[in-house]
Amino acid sequence: MFKQHHRYIFGILLVCAASYGLAQEKTPPTNHRTGFSSLTSAEALERIVKLDAYIESSRIQWNVPGVSVALVHNNQVLLCKGYGVKQAGEQQTVDGDTLFAIASNSKAF
Protein backbone atom coordinates (compact mmCIF):
# COMPACT_ATOMS: atom_id res chain seq x y z
CA MET A 1 0.00 0.00 0.00
CA PHE A 2 2.78 2.41 0.95
CA LYS A 3 4.68 1.82 -2.31
CA GLN A 4 1.50 2.28 -4.35
CA HIS A 5 0.91 5.60 -2.60
CA HIS A 6 4.43 6.75 -3.45
CA ARG A 7 4.05 5.62 -7.07
CA TYR A 8 0.80 7.59 -7.35
CA ILE A 9 2.37 10.75 -5.88
CA PHE A 10 5.44 10.35 -8.10
CA GLY A 11 3.20 10.04 -11.17
CA ILE A 12 1.15 13.11 -10.28
CA LEU A 13 4.30 15.17 -9.71
CA LEU A 14 5.66 14.13 -13.08
CA VAL A 15 2.40 15.00 -14.82
CA CYS A 16 2.34 18.40 -13.11
CA ALA A 17 5.94 19.08 -14.07
CA ALA A 18 5.33 18.02 -17.66
CA SER A 19 2.14 20.07 -17.94
CA TYR A 20 3.84 23.17 -16.57
CA GLY A 21 6.75 22.75 -18.96
CA LEU A 22 4.47 22.43 -21.98
CA ALA A 23 2.76 25.73 -21.16
CA GLN A 24 6.00 27.73 -21.08
CA GLU A 25 7.73 29.60 -23.88
CA LYS A 26 10.66 28.01 -25.65
CA THR A 27 13.84 28.14 -23.60
CA PRO A 28 17.47 27.87 -24.63
CA PRO A 29 18.23 24.41 -26.00
CA THR A 30 19.38 21.67 -23.71
CA ASN A 31 22.07 19.20 -24.60
CA HIS A 32 19.73 16.25 -25.17
CA ARG A 33 22.63 13.83 -25.21
CA THR A 34 23.31 14.43 -21.53
CA GLY A 35 19.98 15.99 -20.55
CA PHE A 36 21.67 18.97 -18.88
CA SER A 37 21.91 22.60 -19.88
CA SER A 38 24.99 24.67 -19.18
CA LEU A 39 25.11 25.85 -15.59
CA THR A 40 27.33 28.45 -14.01
CA SER A 41 27.18 27.02 -10.50
CA ALA A 42 29.10 23.83 -9.79
CA GLU A 43 26.94 23.29 -6.71
CA ALA A 44 23.74 23.48 -8.77
CA LEU A 45 25.15 21.03 -11.29
CA GLU A 46 26.09 18.64 -8.49
CA ARG A 47 22.54 18.78 -7.10
CA ILE A 48 21.05 18.11 -10.52
CA VAL A 49 23.36 15.12 -11.01
CA LYS A 50 22.13 13.74 -7.66
CA LEU A 51 18.51 14.38 -8.69
CA ASP A 52 19.17 12.61 -11.98
CA ALA A 53 20.47 9.54 -10.14
CA TYR A 54 17.54 9.64 -7.69
CA ILE A 55 14.96 9.76 -10.49
CA GLU A 56 16.49 6.76 -12.27
CA SER A 57 16.86 4.69 -9.09
CA SER A 58 13.28 5.54 -8.03
CA ARG A 59 11.95 4.61 -11.48
CA ILE A 60 13.61 1.21 -11.21
CA GLN A 61 12.61 0.68 -7.55
CA TRP A 62 8.94 1.51 -8.25
CA ASN A 63 8.84 -0.50 -11.52
CA VAL A 64 7.91 2.51 -13.64
CA PRO A 65 8.68 1.75 -17.33
CA GLY A 66 9.60 5.32 -18.23
CA VAL A 67 9.38 8.97 -17.25
CA SER A 68 10.20 12.26 -18.89
CA VAL A 69 11.37 15.09 -16.62
CA ALA A 70 11.94 18.79 -17.16
CA LEU A 71 13.40 20.99 -14.44
CA VAL A 72 13.10 24.72 -15.15
CA HIS A 73 14.38 27.58 -12.99
CA ASN A 74 14.11 31.27 -13.94
CA ASN A 75 13.09 30.33 -17.50
CA GLN A 76 16.24 28.23 -17.91
CA VAL A 77 15.94 24.50 -18.54
CA LEU A 78 18.24 22.83 -16.04
CA LEU A 79 17.28 19.25 -16.80
CA CYS A 80 15.30 17.81 -19.70
CA LYS A 81 15.71 14.08 -19.84
CA GLY A 82 13.90 10.80 -20.33
CA TYR A 83 14.41 7.63 -18.35
CA GLY A 84 13.51 4.08 -19.33
CA VAL A 85 11.13 3.03 -22.10
CA LYS A 86 7.83 4.49 -23.25
CA GLN A 87 5.87 1.29 -22.67
CA ALA A 88 6.73 -1.85 -20.72
CA GLY A 89 7.94 -4.64 -22.96
CA GLU A 90 8.89 -2.31 -25.82
CA GLN A 91 12.26 -0.88 -26.84
CA GLN A 92 11.25 2.73 -27.64
CA THR A 93 13.29 4.81 -25.19
CA VAL A 94 12.05 7.95 -23.49
CA ASP A 95 13.72 11.32 -24.05
CA GLY A 96 12.99 14.86 -22.91
CA ASP A 97 10.44 15.33 -25.69
CA THR A 98 8.44 12.11 -25.18
CA LEU A 99 4.72 12.64 -24.64
CA PHE A 100 2.65 10.32 -22.48
CA ALA A 101 -1.11 9.82 -22.40
CA ILE A 102 -2.34 10.79 -18.95
CA ALA A 103 -5.81 9.23 -19.25
CA SER A 104 -8.16 10.43 -16.50
CA ASN A 105 -5.42 11.84 -14.27
CA SER A 106 -6.42 15.37 -15.29
CA LYS A 107 -9.71 14.98 -13.40
CA ALA A 108 -7.78 15.58 -10.19
CA PHE A 109 -6.83 19.07 -11.39
The DSSP call for residue 30 is: P
- Would you state the pLDDT for residue 84? 94
Query: With bands split at pLDDT 50, 70 and 90, how would you rate the model's confidence at 75?
Result: confident
pLDDT of 109 above 80? no
Q: Domain map of the chain by residue range?
A: 2-103
pLDDT at res. 36: 57
CB crowding 48-63: b at 16 or more within 10 Å, else e: beeebeebeeebeeee
pTM, whole model, 2 decimals?
A: 0.58
What is the band of 72 on the pLDDT scale with cuts at 50, 70, 90? confident
